[in-house]
Structure formats: structure tokens, C-alpha cells
Amino acid sequence: MAVNGHVEQADNGDFSVQVRRRELVPADSPLPESWLPLSNLDLLLPPVYPTFFFVYEKPIDIHLKFQSMISALKKALSKMLIPCFPLAGEVVTSPTGEPEIHCNNNGVEFIEAYADIELRNLDLHHPDASVAGKLVPKRPTAVLCLQVTELKCGGTVLSCTLDHRVSDGYSAKMFLDAWAEMTTSGTISAAPTFRRSLLSPRRLGLPDKSLNDLYRVAPPALPYTPRAHEYAGRIYYMKAEAMASLQALAGSSHGTKRTKFEAFSGCMWKAMAKSAGDGETCKMGVIIDGRSRLVDDVRSMDTMARYYGNVLSLPYSESEAKELTCNPLSWVADQVHDFLESRVTTDHFLGLVDWVEAHKPHQLMTSLVYKGTMEGPSFAVSNGRVFQPSRLDFGWGKPILGSCYFPWGVDSGYVMLMPSPVGDGDWVVYMHLFNHQLNMVEAELCDILEPLKLANLMSSSSPICRGGATF
């Protein structure tokens, strides 16, 4: 189903976007109708829609036309939807009141658009103005929504918006990698698995009571913040040498080296604590992928590595803001390491599956989001190191940038790191925080975070000239 011969145009401040075509792309082979339950870990997620997007310069091959790129993408997508058939379905409510996937091959939403702006002028440092509703859809209507936007200069932005109840970041990465492989080679080396029995609960007993502190039964309506207008998104660039310096400062007082992620998370925790009021605490959650913890042999390791769905936990720690600001980064990084070490375990993830089973069919949610920032600053950090944007070559070159856009609508901030595809060891950092928190973070971390500027990432040999005419 497509919108043909109709152009939607929206005036979006500095540039306009035309939707040339909007359609549902089904699998290119008939699929039997079926229903796929969500796993217990899927049921921890509300209906929110994160987006990952990737920016490409104009292809070096001047004979490669945009419509040829679109045709190749859709052809590969229809093939991908045979092994990934749930992504062409719809999330519906089961007879027991829980969400499930109706695998009806309704199709993936595919949007072809045109943006009247050149790549070098695209301000991705302020994604609320340049990305929302322009380079990503305003309201996704399917389990998976893809948008490919041609820029005035011949560059391209490809975005992927997912229903979080069906996909986590690892799953998104797995789909995107396979889609690129299918587009360029006509096949994929490893098909995802939707085998829900991998996350079956154990014999019901008494779930770990500590999980009652991390998760809770959600109220009838999710606690969407009445202060949403006070949030803003920013995207920053972090050089490898800045990260190395931060990691050195975060080194344990006992001589133990902390990971880059622990160092950055500790640094963010300290900066956010400075935005707290007198006597307030500061809460930081860390999104953890549990696939590597749910394996007991080589065979199950391969299967879990291909598992499509949510295998996440969001533990958090809470400390007095004054304690976080007064202690050195090494002390804070130790706190991050210690609370993660107690949660990144097999028992934690197996216990979480059991805990959800004991609380069905209620909607569940993380306590970090529920408590919100009214009691002090609250935010979650996600490590997107599994994303390797350099792998996403669909036949017209590797992207110069990969990032996310996720204003998740709750009274808590969100931060995500992704590796840069052009700088060896560089990082791209997305933040969704209150305006005053962003101001504090920028003031505290001005030595390591730079406002993202696409012109700094463009290759000198690009067909898109930075300072002159576009060819």
C-alpha cells in the first residue's frame, strides 16, 4: 500500500521536507498468518519508539541515482522480511490482555523523502529542530518504520524507528547489519531467531525481592511528565583522546582500570548531581544487555547472539548529590562498577524473567522512570558500542555519522553513546535532558564534549564541496 503521486510538505524552520512516497513493504513471499507472544523481558517495555539514524555523503559513483538506491533497499527489505517475518506484523492485544505480534505480513512502513538542505548545513547538534518529524517520522504506524531522505546536495539520511516492545538496540543493530548485507550481496550470513523459549521462566518460586526495588507495577497511565516542554535533545562528539583522559582520571584508587563506559557514566553522574537541589539525591540507571549472561555453551551462545527481542535490564543506583560532587571521579566510577557488577549476572536476568512471570498480566516498568526527576535528577545511560556504523554500507559508501533520537516521554533523562564511523575511538553522544541539566553538563564537560558539526566529519574528497558549489 503506497501513497502515489502525492507530495506531503511540511515547513520545518530552516528547511522543508517532502514525503514523496509512503508505503508498506511486505515480504516478497506469502507467509502463513500466526501470532507471536512477547517475551517476559519484552513486557517490561512500554510502547515507546527509539530511532537510529545514519548520515551518508553523496555517492562517489556519480551514476548512482537516488531512485536506484531506493529500489535496491526495498528489494532487499522484502527478502529480509522472510526470516524477519514478525517485523512485518502488528502489535495487538492478546485474549489475556498482553501485547503480542500478529504476524500478518502487513508490511514495514517505508518512507521516501526529500529535504531542501545541504549536508554541511544540517544542524544535528539540535536534533529536536532538525531530526524530529523531518528525518524521522512523526508518528510511526508499524512495528518497524524506515525513512530514507535525499538531501539537496545528494547526501542521504537513513533512519530506523522501532517499537521498543519488539526490538532493543542490539536487535536493531542486527537487523540493520543484515539489511545492508542483503542489499549488497543478496543474502545474509546469519538469520535472527525469534525463539521465545530462550527466555522461558524457571519453575515458579519466590522471585528475588531485590527486583522489587528496580521494577514495579505501572499505574493505569504511564507517568508522562507534564514538564516535557522543558526537555531538549543534543548530540555531541567526543574525541578518542578525550575519552582516554577521562578513563585515566577514573582509574580506581586501588590501581584498577575502569572501562570507558564506566568512566563516562561516572563523569555524567557527577555533572548531573550538580543540577540537584539542596538535600536531593541523583539517580543513574544503566541499560544492560543480558545475552552474554544467558548462555551455558557454545551452541547457546550462537543462538542468543542471534536472538531478536529485548534482553535488557535497567538497574540504577542513587546517591546524595553532595557526595557525588565532592568525591573524585575515581570514587564515582568505583560506585558505577560496583553496582553494575552485582547486576550483570546470569541470576539477575533469569530472576528478572521469573519476576515478570509472577506479576503478569500487569504492565510493569522500571522504578527509575517512575520516581522521576521531581525527587532529584534522574537519567539512564545506554552503551551503543554494539553498533558499528561502518558496517552499514548499502552500496553507496559508509556513513559518516550514526546516532539515535529518543525523547522517551517520561520524567527522566536519557543518554546514549555510539562509536563514530570516521574517527578511530571517537564517540557520538546523544542526550535528552532538562534544559538546565544540559546547561550544567555542557559547562562541566566542555573539555571533552564538542557540539556535533557534520562539516568536521565530511571527507575532503567528498563530491559534496564544503565551501563551494555542489556537484
Domains and CATH numbers, the chain: 2-193 (3.30.559.10), 208-386+401-453 (3.30.559.10)
Pairing label, strands 51-56, 156-162: antiparallel
Answer whether the bond into residue 83 is a cis peptide, omega within 30°. Answer: no
Alpha-carbon span 469 to 154, nearest angstrom: 12
Q: What would the pLDDT profile of 147-192 be if each residue is shown by its tens digit?
A: 999 999 999 999 999 999 999 999 999 999 999 999 999 999 999 9
* pLDDT on residue 223: 52
Answer whether the bond into residue 361 is a cis peptide, omega within 30°. Answer: yes
* pLDDT on residue 3: 47
Residue type, 359: H
Task: Flag whether the pTM goes above 0.85.
Answer: yes
User: With b meaning 16 or more CB within 10 Å and e meaning fewer, what string describes 429-447?
Assistant: bbbbbbeebbebbeebbee
Find where cell 568525591 sits.
327
DSSP H or E segment with residue 247 = helix 240-249
C-alpha cell at position 95: 485474549
Q: Which residue from 325, 351, 323 is spatially nearest to 268, judged by alpha carbons? A: 325
* pLDDT on residue 270: 97
* pLDDT on residue 220: 67
Q: Which residue from 395, 396, 391, 397 is spatially nearest to 184, judged by alpha carbons? A: 395
Cβ neighbours of 309 (radius 10 Å): 25
Q: What is the dihedral of CA 166, 418, 123, 422, to 10 degrees?
A: -130
Angle, alpha carbons 150-407-451 (nearest 5°):
65
For residue 215, list its beta bridge partners: 366
Contact 193, 306 (CB under 8 A): yes
* pLDDT on residue 408: 87
Q: What would the pLDDT profile of 89-116 be if each residue is shown by its tens digit?
A: 999 999 988 999 999 999 999 999 999 9
* pLDDT on residue 6: 43
* pLDDT on residue 419: 95
Q: Which residue from 46, 10, 9 is spatially nearest to 312, judged by alpha carbons? A: 46
271 contact partners, CB below 8 Å, separation of at least 6: 440, 441, 444, 445
* pLDDT on residue 342: 85
* pLDDT on residue 222: 56
| Max intra-chain CA distance, the chain | 69
Residue type, 464: I
What single string gives the DSSP state of each residue in 301-337? Answer: HHHHHTB-S--EE--EEEEEHHHHHHS-HHHHHHHHH
- Which regions of the chain are under pLDDT 50? 1-3, 5-13, 372-374, 461-471
Alpha-carbon span 236 to 413, nearest angstrom: 16
What's the residue count for the chain? Answer: 471
